[in-house]
Structure formats: structure tokens, C-alpha cells
Structure 1
Amino acid sequence: MSQEDDLIPEDTPGFVVGEKKTIEEYAKLDAEDESLAKWKASLGITTDTSELLPVAAGDKRRLVILEMVVDVEGQDPIIVDFSRDSAAQIESKKPQIKIKEGSIYTLKIKFRVQHEIVTGVKYLQAVKKAGITVDRVEEPCGSFPPNTVNKPFHEKQFPEVEAPKGMLARGSYSAVSKFIDDDKTVHLAFPWTLQIVR
């Protein structure tokens, strides 16, 4: 199985992607319901474009990865800053993460949504050693409206993981992370390297 095969999300039987709507259409739905209007505003669903976070001219991305943080118990967090990178630069960056064997760590992603609501975002990750898949992660992240001036980014923290340990576990692993939504739109896929050390 190729690494690309490992990064195909599982289908949920019976699930049908809903009809796409613009922010304006969501904002106008049940507009007379005051409590629903407040709830939608708290999510960033508004027709007031002055509240939306400005988007760089020509940037058509809908989901923009800003930062990947690997928080390892007992050591300083490993921060990979993508905030100034284009998608092509991120894909070619190939970050290298070094973790002590047996460590407990968590992965946190900071990202921005722009232009329109992104529904059903999933994070997929495949890790291989010597060409053999040793770990696969599929983690639902949720649906997100475009970021606003008051909420300039979203964060998703994943469950704790224990790094493998032992002589056979130590060494270099190749990994690929991928962000995909309900429409099967791949927002970003990038390779990185994991080093398990003594």
C-alpha cells in the first residue's frame, strides 16, 4: 500500500455531504430567530465583511496552515512555523521532528479559514519506516467559518501519543500529513521526518 493510499479518508456509510451555502446564505437562514443569530455570530457567520480577517490579494486558499506544534513531555515544544509560507513552500519544507523514545507527545495545529465555510475537515497522517506503514491517523477536526479580526485563527489539538521505544523503534520515519474536507478537497499535504532517538 502506498503512502497516498494511507491518506484516503474512510467513508461513513449513509453519509451525504450537504448542499454548500455561502456565508451570506447561512447568515440569512432563520434570521428572525434572535438566539440562533447570536449563535451564528459567535461562530463567525456574519454578513458584516468588515469583521472578517483580511486575505492577501490573490490568495485563493480556503484553509491555511499557520503552525504545527509537537508538544513533548519533558522538553521544549517543537514549533514548525508555516505562517509565511505558500502551500508549495510548505510541501517542500519537509520539517524534521526529533522525539525521545517512549515520550508522551501531542500534536497541535494552528490554522486560518478564509473566503468561505469549510465543512468536515479531517487530518490524515501516515508514518512509514523502511517503506512499511507503522502508523495511520484519521482525526476529524470539524467545520469552520472564515476567521475574524476577533478570532484570527483556529486550533486543533490531537490526543496524546506515546512514541515507540526499543532498539527496533529508534531511527528515521517518513511521514505525510494531509488536510481534506467533506468535498474531498485536499487543502494541504506535506511530508515530514520523524526521528526517534534514545
Structure 2
Amino acid sequence: MSLIPEMQWLVGVLLTRSSRTLDSHSGLVTHCTFAPCRLGLRHIGLIQVNVLYFMADKEADVHEIDEADVNYQPPAQKSLQEIQELDKDDESLNKYKKALLGSGPVEIDPSAPNVQVTRLTLVCNAAPGPITMDLTGDLEALKKENFVLKEGVEYRVKIHFKVNKEIVSGLKYVHHTYRKGIRVDKDVYMVGSYGPRPEEHEFLTPVEEAPKGMLVRGCYHIKSYFTDDDKTDHLSWEWNLNIKKEWNE
């Protein structure tokens, strides 16, 4: 479950409280709002920082993740302990910190990464069985597997992940879809900001409809990325999706 807007605001406040001067070239100031927008046939949730900030779509195949061509630099990351020590006398802020961070420390293997993506599920009520992939094992093996969707069905993508140590801001899920070696689509989903906790977090995309018709049936190769505002590559993997006329065709 993603954070409610007040918690998103808290993260912005906590991460920028000690550094109020932002890059003058970016045209950004400190107050955060949220607004939906539409890119092609996909919904993308964009975080807009006080003023409408138009992101230029930049086609880049270096790491195959589209980024805004701007000079904006994210605020310096604060440790979990630093955030817990901030403004202890502010009752409302403490309330949100407790909701975001929990009431106690999270015990975790020190060698574990801060963000662990554990699995991806295609949620489809019409499917004869679960459509899920384990992302903790051999990712190379996923390239040889084929996941099936019946044409025209409605589905959603669910990402399961854990945050182990520090708050992470601006998480996003990106996937590029290829057919016969040519990229035919891209999707960018703003996942949000999350704090550490023992349980997994889940992110669910809006409802989408699988392609339909003889011309669009067949195998699609998908390259997926789970990244954040700092362009950290938390996980990259590839998989195949078959669009078929019938589930068991």
C-alpha cells in the first residue's frame, strides 16, 4: 500500500527541512502537491513540486529508463535515526513519523539491500490461476519463461517489495515492451516513498486492458526496472508475455 498524501508530504519536509535552498535552475520550490496526468494510454502519477513542472520525455537506451532532462538534484538523504530525532516536540509531525516509520526499530540482516523486490503478479480475475514471478531467485531463468494473458482481459500489475533500513523516496516501476526486437510501448508508474518495516509493501497499478485482435496476439518481451529518484537500480529483470486468444490455447 502506498503512502497517503500527508505522509508523502512528511517525507518531502523531512528530507528538505535542513536544506531550504534548491537549485535555481530547476525552478522548484519546497511545497509538494500531487496530480494525475495521462501519457498515451497509460496513467502516470507525477509528483509536482509546488508549481507545475513539465517533464520532457527523453528516449534513452543507455539504461533504457526515460528521465527528465533537467538539473534538479534530489535533497540529500537523511538517515532513519536523523529523521527520528527531528522536531521531537512537534506533535503532528511525530504522528506522521510514527505512521511512516512504525513504533519500533526494524531488525534486518545488515548485508541485505535497503530495497528488495520479491515478486511481480499480474492480477486478473478472469485468469484460471495465479500469474506471478519470483524475483528472489534466478532472474536469467525468467527470460525463458512465458506468462500468458488472454486478449482483451482486464488486469493490474502488483509489485511486492521490502524496505529494510532507510526511507526511500520516489520509487518507480518502469517497463519497456518489445515485439520482434522493436520497442512498442513503455510504462512508468510512480510507486512513492516508503519507510522500513518487517512486512512487505505492495504497489498496485491502475486497471489496464490486454491487447485484442489477431494482429496483436503473440509474444512480447518486457524489460522491467525498479528504481528511484536517485536513479538507484534496485532490480532489473526481463520476462515474456504471451497474448493469446484463449487461456489454454
Q: Same fold (TM over 0.5)?
A: yes
Task: From 142, 149, 154, give the equivalent of 1:93.
Answer: 142
Deviates more, 1:182-191 or 1:66-75: 66-75
The match for 2:75 is 18
TM-score, normalising length from structure 2?
0.68
**RMSD between aligned residues:** 2.4
The match for 1:66 is 118
SS in 1 for 2:74: coil
- Alpha-carbon contact 1:6-1:136 (below 8 Å) kept: no
What percent of counterpart residues are identical? 35
**CA shift at 1:104, angstroms?**
1.1
- Alpha-carbon contact 2:102-2:197 (below 8 Å) kept: no
Matched residue pairs, number?
186
**CA shift at 1:97, angstroms?**
1.4
- Alpha-carbon contact 1:119-1:181 (below 8 Å) kept: yes
- Alpha-carbon contact 1:26-1:45 (below 8 Å) kept: no
Measured in 1, the distance between the counterparts of 2:146 and 2:118 equals 17
Measured in 2, the distance between the counterparts of 1:43 and 1:90 equals 31
Q: What pairs up with 1:13-162 in 2 under 5 angstroms?
A: 13=70, 15-44=72-101, 48-49=104-105, 52=106, 54-56=107-109, 58-59=111-112, 61-75=113-127, 76-82=129-135, 85=136, 89-90=138-139, 92-94=141-143, 95-148=145-198, 152-162=199-209
- Alpha-carbon contact 2:115-2:163 (below 8 Å) kept: yes
Measured in 1, the distance between the counterparts of 2:139 and 2:90 equals 43
The match for 2:224 is 177
Measured in 2, the distance between the counterparts of 1:108 and 1:186 equals 19
- Alpha-carbon contact 1:7-1:125 (below 8 Å) kept: no
User: Which sections of structure 1, spanning at least 5 residues, go unmatched?
Assistant: none
Measured in 2, the distance between the counterparts of 1:196 and 1:190 equals 20
The match for 2:243 is 196
1:82-135 deviations in Å (ceiling 9; x for gaps): 3xx25xx23543353100111111101111011211111111100100111111
The match for 2:210 is 163
TM-score, normalising length from structure 1?
0.84
User: Which sections of structure 2, spanning at least 5 residues, go unmatched?
Assistant: 1-58
Measured in 2, the distance between the counterparts of 1:105 and 1:128 equals 19
Which structure is richer in relative contact order (CA contacts within 8 A, separation 6 or more)? Answer: 1
**CA shift at 1:165, angstroms?**
1.4
1:16-55 deviations in Å (ceiling 9; x for gaps): 3011100011111111112211210111166x42xx1x32
Name the CA shift for 1:91/1:58 in 2 (closer, same or farther; >3 Å).
Answer: farther
Name the CA shift for 1:126/1:166 in 2 (closer, same or farther; >3 Å).
Answer: same
Measured in 2, the distance between the counterparts of 1:31 and 1:41 equals 11
Measured in 1, the distance between the counterparts of 2:159 and 2:172 equals 12
**CA shift at 1:5, angstroms?**
5.0
